């Protein structure tokens, strides 16, 4: 199960937490579960997908906040320009890691084209 969940999340610690939570939820529903293994893996997969989506939202918010900081720093100093360039690079890397459908959704959200 650990290897199965590890495909969805990046952290070993998060993987362990998801597996533990999946077993706990399966145990709580043991009386009503007809197919133990299927229920366990479905629960774990759903928890992993939820974690993946949560991580994407947090990263998007972090990048948005960084973009706001970079915008405020424009024209102030060479260091501010370097920070802005670094944030732009980080944003571009994050966008490049997105699946094609997520990039399309980002484009529809009117994100500046330099990030797509």
pLDDT per position as a tens digit, 7-55: 888 789 999 999 999 999 999 998 898 999 999 999 999 999 888 888 8
CA distance 22 to 14: 12
Tell me the per-residue pLDDT of 82-103, one tens digit each, with 9 for 90 and over.
Answer: 888 888 888 888 888 888 888 7
Q: How confident is the model at residue 109 (pLDDT cuts 50, 70, 90)?
A: confident
What pLDDT was estimated at residue 94? Answer: 84
Place of tokens 């399309």: 104
CA dist list (Å): 100 to 13, 43, 48, 113, 114: 28, 26, 20, 15, 16
Which residue, 34, 36, 24, 111, is CA-closest to 67? 111
What pLDDT was estimated at residue 112? Answer: 56
Higher pLDDT, 39 or 63: 39
CA dist list (Å): 41 to 6, 35, 37: 13, 10, 6
CA distance 4 to 27: 19
Highest mean pLDDT among 20-24, 69-73, 80-84, 108-112: 20-24
pTM (whole model) above 0.85: no
């Amino acid at each position: 199960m650990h290897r199965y969940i590890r495909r969805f999340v990046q952290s070993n610690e998060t993987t362990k937490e998801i597996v533990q939570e999946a077993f706990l939820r399966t145990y709580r529903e043991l009386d009503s579960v007809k197919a133990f293994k299927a229920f366990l893996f479905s629960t774990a997969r759903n928890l992993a997908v939820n974690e993946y989506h949560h991580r994407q939202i947090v990263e998007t918010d972090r990048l948005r906040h960084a973009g706001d900081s970079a915008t405020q720093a424009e024209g102030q100093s060479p260091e501010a320009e370097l920070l802005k360039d670094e944030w732009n690079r980080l944003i571009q890397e994050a966008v490049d890691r997105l699946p094609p459908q997520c990039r399309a959704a980002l484009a529809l959200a009117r994100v500046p084209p330099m990030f797509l």
